[in-house]
């Protein structure tokens, strides 16, 4: 990997705008999932460095919150511009540690930067209110104030945008942050932090702790009295644990957790739009997103025309090392991910599913998997209830709208859902009946800084992005002025 701006490749934790090695001197390896090569040896930090970062963030909070919203927004705008100016390097860095094709990685850099830009602007719109008084001798006013130090725990599947989606609203509001990025993808996080410092964001406002000890760092962030808020993206299992741990000091939590997205193709859908939208939703990041179509329900009458085109579209997807031109599907993140896909496929086939495209590992290497289609899926299969997180389309046939809605809502998850139809009545009926925080209608990609991203049920708490995103990082304070 040769970067034009070599300063973007950093390997130590970032505390108080300084690079910090682990006190133990230990490091861990970051591997390129496409070929297993060691990309970097990164500081293996512990609770001690995390506590130093929390203290730095707490000290910085005193001054950062006093800056005007306009001042904070202006610094964030500079950060946004630096991220965009370094987008090619950041994309290459991301592909090298995460595996997604470089064009997709560049798309993520632009998506990630859009949160910085959006919240730089939103900083000036954190309004309070004047509430009509019930008594003439007093007035009721609210102000919104930054909550304090935020602990942000972020995943490997979106190494940049899941960080900016959390920390941009936080710092726009006047909070300071300690980020624990996934140990598979710390390099993108460190590059982002360095660019923030270059933009002039003061010391202690953004801190990054690198470590493979997710449990230890998570415990420290969720139990430390100086941390006021936890924001996490990852599995429902870990989200529940962090929520439990945060209870001891009654921290505010935002959780963006697992999904089991239904995607429904109704008889009256435009087949080409449905195929394009399903491919976009299912195969983004090789199927490794929380909003990937996990269960694809196709109505009887459109089934044959849809599936013929869909199989061809899946067969045409180009698999390979993400740095090679034209590649659309990179490797999975690690061997556990490949094992999970194989386990789900085995179970589905045992219970009657038919593999019609792909179905096994790819000759390119042990983390590559063939884009796969399995048909005749049923509720009894594990693939119906578990998030696949791989390039496998599980297809189910259905007859009535009621059946589709029942199938779609039959899960403890409620993050994203999609459906394809050209009928207006059906559009409203189905959109309102789906128990999901996000619904894509004739569209497979729904992620925008301007829109509220988040789930219902066990998919999480809170919304990220949009004007709602900033609410997660402020306290509403009520001022009662009496004696008037
Ligand atoms: C996720 O998979 O967690 C995030 C996907 C997105 O922001 O589009």
**Which pLDDT tens digit goes with each residue over 305-324?**
999 999 999 999 999 999 99
Cα 444 versus chain centre, distance: 16
pLDDT at 300: 98
CATH of domain 261-448: 3.40.309.10
Per the CB < 8 A criterion, the answer to whether 438 and 417 are in contact is: yes
290 in ligand 1 pocket by Cβ < 6 Å? yes
Catalytic residue chosen out of the listed positions 44, 104, 108, 256: 256
CATH of domain 13-257: 3.40.605.10
In eight-state DSSP terms, residue 6 is G
Establish whether domains 13-257 and 261-448 are of one fold.
no
* Secondary structure of residue 264 in the 3-state scheme: strand
**Which pLDDT tens digit goes with each residue over 217-229?**
999 999 999 999 9
CB-based contacts of 408, cutoff 8 Å, min separation 6: 262, 264, 295, 297, 417, 434
Number of Cβ within 10 Å of residue 132's Cβ equals 6
Mean pLDDT (the chain, rounded): 98
Number of Cβ within 10 Å of residue 12's Cβ equals 19
For residue 306, CA distances in Å to 283, 391, 400, 427 come to: 17, 18, 17, 19
**Which pLDDT tens digit goes with each residue over 231-280?**
999 999 999 999 999 999 999 999 999 999 999 999 999 999 999 999 99
**Which pLDDT tens digit goes with each residue over 159-207?**
999 999 999 999 999 999 999 999 999 999 999 999 999 999 999 999 9
Asked about 290 being catalytic, the answer comes back as yes
- The closest of 215, 218, 217, 155 to 184, measured between CA atoms, is 155
> What does the pLDDT average to over 122-133?
98
Catalytic residue chosen out of the listed positions 45, 290, 292, 377: 290
HEC per residue, 281-292:
HHHHHHHCCCCC
> What does the pLDDT average to over 25-44?
98
Both structure tokens of 427:
């559009």
Distance 185 CA to ligand 1 centre (A): 15
pLDDT at 29: 98
Nearest CA to ligand 1 atom 3: 290
pLDDT at 279: 98
**What share of the chain in percent tops pLDDT 90?**
100
291 in ligand 1 pocket by Cβ < 6 Å? yes
The rounded distance, in Å, linking the Cα atoms of 372 and 370 is 6
Q: Kindly give the number of the ligand 1 atom that is closest to the alpha carbon of 285.
A: 2
The residue extents of the domains of the chain are: 13-257, 261-448
Q: Kindly give the number of the ligand 1 atom that is closest to the alpha carbon of 289.
A: 2
**Which pLDDT tens digit goes with each residue over 427-440?**
999 999 999 999 99
Asked about 256 being catalytic, the answer comes back as yes
Residue 1 pLDDT more than 90? no
Look up the pTM and report it. 0.98
> What does the pLDDT average to over 360-376?
97
Residue of 98, 111, 158 with the most ligand 1 atoms within 8 Å of its CB, for mutation: 158
Confidence of residue 420 (pLDDT cuts 50, 70, 90): very high
Nearest CA to ligand 1 atom 8: 447
Phi/psi of residue 209, nearest 5 degrees? -110, 120
281 in ligand 1 pocket by Cβ < 6 Å? no
């Amino acid at each position: 990997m040769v970067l034009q701006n070599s300063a973007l490749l950093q390997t130590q934790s970032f505390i108080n705008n300084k690079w910090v090695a682990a006190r133990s001197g230990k490091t861990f390896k970051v591997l390129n999932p496409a070929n297993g090569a060691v990309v970097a040896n990164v500081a293996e930090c512990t609770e001690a460095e995390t506590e130093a970062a929390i203290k730095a963030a707490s000290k910085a909070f005193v001054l950062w919150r006093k800056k005007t919203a306009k001042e904070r927004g202006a610094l964030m705008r500079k950060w946004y511009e630096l991220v965009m100016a370094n987008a090619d390097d950041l994309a290459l860095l991301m592909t090298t540690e995460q595996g997604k094709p470089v064009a997709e990685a560049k798309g993520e850099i632009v998506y990630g930067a859009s949160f910085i830009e959006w919240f730089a602007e939103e900083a000036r719109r954190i309004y309070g209110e004047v509430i009509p008084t019930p008594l003439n001798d007093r007035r009721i006013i609210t102000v919104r104030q930054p909550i304090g130090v935020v602990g942000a725990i972020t995943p490997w599947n979106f190494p940049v945008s899941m960080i900016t989606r959390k920390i941009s609203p936080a710092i726009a509001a006047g909070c300071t942050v300690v980020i624990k990025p996934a140990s598979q993808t710390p390099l993108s996080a460190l590059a982002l932090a360095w660019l923030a410092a270059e933009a002039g964001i003061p010391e202690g406002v953004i801190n990054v702790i690198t470590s493979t000890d997710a449990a230890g760092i998570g415990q420290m962030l969720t139990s430390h009295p100086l941390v006021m808020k936890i924001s996490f993206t990852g599995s429902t299992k870990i989200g529940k644990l962090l929520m439990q741990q945060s209870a001891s000091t009654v921290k505010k939590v935002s959780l963006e957790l697992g999904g089991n997205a239904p995607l429904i193709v109704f008889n009256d859908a435009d087949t080409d739009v449905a195929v394009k939208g399903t491919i976009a939703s299912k195969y983004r990041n090789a199927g490794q997103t929380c909003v990937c179509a996990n269960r694809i329900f196709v109505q009887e009458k459109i089934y044959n025309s849809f599936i013929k085109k869909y199989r061809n579209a899946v067969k045409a997807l180009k698999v390979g090392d993400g740095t090679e031109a034209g590649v659309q599907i990179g490797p999975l993140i690690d061997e556990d991910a490949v094992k999970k896909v194989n386990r789900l496929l085995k179970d589905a086939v045992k219970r009657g599913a038919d593999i019609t495209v792909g179905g096994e590992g790819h000759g390119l290497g042990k983390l590559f998997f063939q884009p796969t289609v399995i048909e005749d899926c049923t509720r009894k299969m594990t693939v119906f209830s578990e998030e696949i997180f791989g390039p496998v389309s599980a297809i189910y046939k259905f007859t009535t709208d009621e059946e589709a809605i029942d199938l779609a809502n039959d899960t403890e998850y409620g993050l994203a859902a999609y459906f394809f139809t050209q009928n207006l009545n059906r559009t409203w009926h189905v959109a309102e009946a789906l128990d999901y925080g996000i619904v894509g209608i004739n569209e497979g990609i729904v992620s925008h800084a301007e829109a509220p991203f988040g789930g219902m049920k066990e998919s999480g708490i809170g919304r990220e992005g949009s004007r709602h995103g900033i609410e997660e990082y402020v306290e509403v304070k009520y001022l009662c002025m009496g004696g008037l």
